[in-house]
Amino acid sequence: MNDLYYKKKSYSSISIDEVINSYGVDTFKSPYRSTIPLLAWIKHDFTSFQAIFKKLGLSQNSDLIFEYSVSPPDCKSTPSQTDLMIIDEFSALAIEAKWTESRYPTVEEWYDYSVNRRNVLNSWINLLDVYSENNLNISDLVDIPYQMIHRAASACAMNKSSILAYLLFDKSHCRVIEEDLRNFWDIMGMPANFKFYMIVIDLKITDNYNKILLLPKNNPNTEFFVKSSLLGPSELFQYDDIEIIEI
């Protein structure tokens, strides 16, 4: 039995349809957001999705928290919102899904040398340092995507054995993301209690997804039809040739 939550763990779990309805309107204003195949997979084929996190060492009864929110300790900043955090008694698995999104800005590109952003970066680094074999500095991380830094730190904030996994619905992203993950893990000294993975999917769209494929982005009607398709009974995708790559 898996309990589902949105943003944080609460006293009562919710259904996958309630999770879908919890997202803001902007989430579904494009049919190409990686959130869509992630939610569709869990709604229509949870058994195969569950097999993924079981292979990574988590319990089959783990809790799933969507858009898991973590703020940098002692700083004023926008919280990091991990696509999906899966937790059991001993482990925390942070999953970041990618489909059509391009590479996010690096730390060097994001960092404007303001006091606030320096404090935010150091706050994330303090979380990472608990698991890192090396003492990290901002200068060590300049070539790593900033998003990857705070997603990893969010997993560390759980105070459990941590895992960061990038879930790729488009194989064309593999080389760049694998390079970023490998560089990041190397900088951390290849910590044994913080594993990095890529989960690569050969995503096949169905006739039902084709009905929303050409909907225009940032259109209110698109949000309605995309969400309705997710909530409907028909599968939008097929998830083939699943490969788990340990960094």
Specify whether the CB–CB gap between 143 and 108 falls below 8 A: yes
Dig out the tokens for 145 from the structure. 């995507």
pLDDT of residue 41: 96
Which helix (H) or strand (E) covers residue 171, if one does? none
pLDDT digits (tens, 9 = 90+) for 43-79: 999 999 999 999 999 998 999 999 999 999 888 888 9
Give the C-alpha separation, 221 to 25, whole Å.
11
Give the C-alpha separation, 205 to 15, whole Å.
24
When computed from its CA atoms, the radius of gyration of the chain, rounded to whole angstroms, is: 18
pLDDT of residue 186: 97
pLDDT of residue 34: 95
pLDDT digits (tens, 9 = 90+) for 210-240: 999 999 988 889 999 999 999 999 999 999 8
State residue 131 phi and psi, 5-degree precision: -105, -20
Which residue ranges make up each domain of the chain?
A: 4-246
Give the C-alpha separation, 195 to 225, whole Å.
38
pLDDT of residue 132: 96
Specify whether the CB–CB gap between 168 and 177 falls below 8 A: yes
79, burial (CB in 10 Å: exposed 0-12, middle 13-18, buried 19+) = middle
pLDDT of residue 77: 85
* CA nearest to 43, candidates 241, 229, 242: 229
Q: How far is CA 114 from the centre of its chain?
A: 27
Specify whether the CB–CB gap between 212 and 23 falls below 8 A: no
56, burial (CB in 10 Å: exposed 0-12, middle 13-18, buried 19+) = middle
pTM of the complete model: 0.94
- In single-letter form, the type of residue at position 71 comes to S
Question: Tokens 């997710």 — which residue?
Answer: 230
Low-confidence ranges of the chain (pLDDT < 70): none
Specify whether the CB–CB gap between 167 and 38 falls below 8 A: yes
pLDDT of residue 102: 87
Q: With both helix axes pointing from N to C terminus, report the angle between 35-44 and 220-231 in degrees, rounded to the nearest 10.
A: 20
